[in-house]
Structure 1
Amino acid sequence: MNKWKSQSFKMLLAAGLAFSAVLPSIPLSKAFAAEVSIRGEITKAEKKMPKVQVIATGGTLAGKSTDETSFTTYKAGTLLIEDMVKSLPNKDKIAEVSTYQFGNSGSSAYTIQQLYELSLKVDEALKTQDGVVVTSGTDTMEEIAYFLDLTVRSPKPVVVTGSMRPWTVIGTDAPANLYNAIKLAASGKTKYFGTVLMLNDEFHAAREVTKNNSYRTDTFVTPEVGALGYIDENNIRVYRAPFRALKPASEWSTPFDLSKITKNDLAKVEIAYSYQDAGPGAISGFVANGAKGIVTAGTGAGGISKAMSEERAKAIEQGVIFVMTTRTGSGSNYSSGKGIIAGDNLNAAHARIMLLLSLSFSKDFATIQDWFTTYGYGQIEIPEK
């Protein structure tokens, strides 16, 4: 009986639609339209798939191994992103994916000036895309991700990914990382998070994540505070948010709008590593070579040797700005003074990116120190209720 009713309804529907096509001025009755809606015989057009562009820079993910079992012997930045994306199964179920080949090199090969161009390209893509995935080598991925985090103007999702094994070796993590990065960007769950880094089914805040192993696939970690969330097939779970995600939309963007400066305005900033009886040569050499800022990776809570400290004082008199960080891999630094800014819990590599951008937009110490406090330290402020 039910089958007969269904068939009859379909016949009636077809007749009604045909009649409406001939006489468009005669609408279907409200009751008939409601019945159609209830039964689901007429459905709304399917929701458009989110648009995600993959911007490729190369790295191990695009690597071609010597053979199928050459886990560490390969040529990075060989394969094209268009071909890699085409080979991904079921991508049409998660997003409308396009590609752009920005470059095809290891991450260490890129200059800060090229990162300037990459950031502008990401913002350009986000004018028409719902999210962007940037593929990168892992060696300096955390620095590339943090540069994008501080400079991309759009709040739409930006996901940086790569792999620890080349695309062509058995057991590679490359296709899974690329697929999950696209899925994460398409989900929209990291909108207003800034740039996040996604590998090994985990995603991390660009400001805090670091690479802690030269070969393992779980190399990226966020010391002390942990990952933002996880991707387990169709389950994307977000367990915490970066501090900027909690800011009002009007205060979300950083001061570092690259469209306001040129590549030639980007400041030169270096890192000086301290150790037992470290000499002054690193600092004096960097200053002589034109460094406007220096980050010190100090022992313990950020201490440096006597010789380095004396050379730092000379450099400060010449207008060089210093940021103190610890070489321990985690923990905070609260020391500041004339010409010296506390790095808080930024590692040396991240602090360098923050100082480099700050010096590219201002030479005023107080302004730069305020930017570190506001945008660098990542503190969450809970408003009073």
Structure 2
Amino acid sequence: MKKWTSRSLKALMVTGLAVTALLPNLYLSPASAAETVTGTVNSTEAVKKLPKVQVIATGGTLAGQSTDETSFQTYRAGSLPIADLVASLPNKDQIAEVSTYQFGNSGSSAYTIEQLFDLSLKVDEALKTQDGVVVTTGTDTMEEIAYFLDLTVRSPKPVVITGSMRPWTVIGTDAPANLYNAIKLAASGKTKYFGTVLMLNDEFHAAREVTKTNSYRTDTFITPEIGALGYIDEKTIRVYRAPFRALKSATTWATPFDLSKITKKDLVKVEIAYSYQEAGAGAISGFVANGAKGIVTAGTGAGGISKAMSEERKAAIEKGVVFVTTTRTGSGSNYSSGDGIIAGDNLNAAHARILLLLCLSFSKDFDTVQNWFTTVGYGQIELPAK
């Protein structure tokens, strides 16, 4: 029997990896790869297909080109093509069969709602053939893009949105790790029926509640009061809680907001009015004059607004404008409702705007919109009666 040296064994393993590379749809464990080289593959060992994950890129800091390797805040977002970034990731062929699609290459705040309409349809199209989708965006309005996808994507397959706080080309960048872990999470299938989840800094959060809390830090995204859904620690993915949608049946999981049933012309304008000490009426009156069909108020404390704003709100309601009340505090619930006014529960103003925009794009009936806020919009878990 031939005695193998460490050098010859290493050569065999390299050969084995080369053989495996010729089979892009198959995954062989290290043991089975070695057996393949020696021609003694165990016929009882199952060959496992890798899950298919498509990365749909919209740009942002993750695709940013920095001035130099230490320009952490001086860079041009949305510069690098996603195909090149994915190609540079090591070991991705161990977790998924990854494809890419360049939807756009801009900062997140540059995208319009009409473009998000197209993005959502693209995600659903990809999920017809893919096991999961990763969407890369800038972090500035990532939570809004995530919630729009969460409310509109029809497929229950995993959708993971990610980005970075540092551009790809600086030392200590978080971009490659975030992209790799997002692909890993989507491929795992652990967030199927969760809706869209946001993944950065080894954590993943429900799109409905997550928010950006710091302009520069890599741990900027948090879910106030409730906390993250889970964590990714190398090969381990832990899910510690699930969003309320995950408890619904396959037939009731999807929201009413099927974009294939409307056109971009049906999308309405919804704005946010921020309250503060002696806040004037100009924001609300200006929004109404500019065609807003709905307005979210980011109020003080439990959602209070100034006297001038309150009087202007009454006038706007008489014109058919729908209002949603939220708090500017960053956390907490709001229960204030009334004629033409819907309580925003614990949605922040940015999330409430996305939900109200979709509601009013699908229905002009106040009772219907209010019902959607209390069912689709509220994240409370309804347990069956015993």
TM-score, scaled relative to structure 1: 0.89
Counterpart AA for 2:345: D
Per the alignment, residue 276 of structure 1 pairs with 277
Measured in 1, the distance between the counterparts of 2:41 and 2:375 equals: 52
Summarize deviations over 1:106-130 as a string: whole Å, max 9, x none: 0000000000000000000000000
Partners of 1:42 and 1:249 lie apart in 2 by 37
* 1:250 corresponding residue in structure 2: 251
What amino acid maps onto 1:181 in structure 2? A
Match of 2:133 in 1: 132
Could you tell me how far apart the structure 1 residues matched to 2:281 and 2:156 are? 43
Q: In the TM superposition, what whole-angstrom CA distance separates every residue of 1:146-193 from its partner, at most 9, and x where no partner exists?
A: 000000000000000000000000000000000000000000000000
In structure 2, the partner of 1:121 is 122
Q: Which amino acid aligns with 1:245?
A: A
Partner of 1:170: 171
Q: Render the CA deviation track for 1:264-291: whole Å, top value 9, x for unaligned.
A: 1111000000000000000000000000
Number of residue pairs the alignment of both structures matches? 347
Structure 1 letter corresponding to 2:217: R
TM-score by length of 2: 0.89
Long gaps (5+) in structure 2: 1-39
- Cα RMSD (Å): 0.9
Residue identity in the other structure for 1:122: V
Amino acid at match of 1:328: T
Q: Which residue of 1 aligns with 2:299?
A: 298
Secondary structure, counterpart of 1:270 in structure 2: strand
| Aligned positions of 1:132-151 closer than 5 A | 132-151=133-152
Per-residue deviation, 1:44:
4.6
1:325 alignment partner, SS class: strand
Q: Distance in 2 between matches of 1:41 and 1:144?
A: 47
The 5 Å alignment of 1:10-21 reads: none
Which residue of 1 is the match for residue 329 of structure 2?
328
Name the counterpart of 1:367: 368
Deviation of residue 249 (structure 1)?
1.3
Match of 2:220 in 1: 219
- 1:317-376: CA deviation from partner (whole Å, max 9, x where unpaired): 000000000000000000000000000000000000000000000000000000000010
**Cα separation, 2, equivalents of 1:41 and 1:105:** 50
2-structure distance, mates of 1:319, 1:41:
71
Distance 1:127 1:331 in 2: 38
SS in 2 for 1:250: coil
Runs of 4+ with >2 A deviation: none
**CA deviation after TM superposition for structure 1 residue 42, in Å:** 1.2
Matched residue of 2:197: which SS? Answer: strand
Alignment of 1:349-368 (within 5 A): 349-368=350-369
SS at match of 2:285: helix
- Whichever residue aligns with residue 308 of structure 1, its letter is M
Q: Distance in 2 between matches of 1:190 and 1:279?
A: 44
Measured in 2, the distance between the counterparts of 1:185 and 1:40 equals 30
Q: CA separation in 2, counterparts of 1:328 and 1:44?
A: 56
AA in 2 matched with 1:54: V
Separation in structure 1 between the aligned mates of residue 249 and residue 336 of structure 2, nearest angstrom = 30
> One-letter code of the match for 1:100?
Y
Partners in 2 of 1:43 and 1:284 — Cα distance?
72
1:45 is displaced (CA, Å) by 4.9
Separation in 2, partners of 1:232, 1:322: 42
Deviation by residue 1:180-219 (Cα, 9 ceiling, x = unmatched): 0000000000000000000000000000000000000000
Cross-structure match for 2:195: 194
1:41 offset after TM fit, Å? 2.8
Question: Residue in 1 aligned with 2:154?
Answer: 153
User: In the alignment, what sits opposite 1:379?
Assistant: 380
Aligned partner of residue 197 in structure 1, secondary structure: strand
Please state how far the C-alpha of 1:43 moved relative to its aligned partner. Answer: 3.2
AA partner of residue 288 (structure 2)? V
Shift of 1:47: 1.1
One-letter amino acid matched to 1:72: Q
How many Å separate the matches in 2 of 1:168 and 1:83? 13
Distance 1:267 1:229 in 2: 35
**Hey, what's the Cα distance between the residues in 2 that align with 1:207 and 1:59?**
21
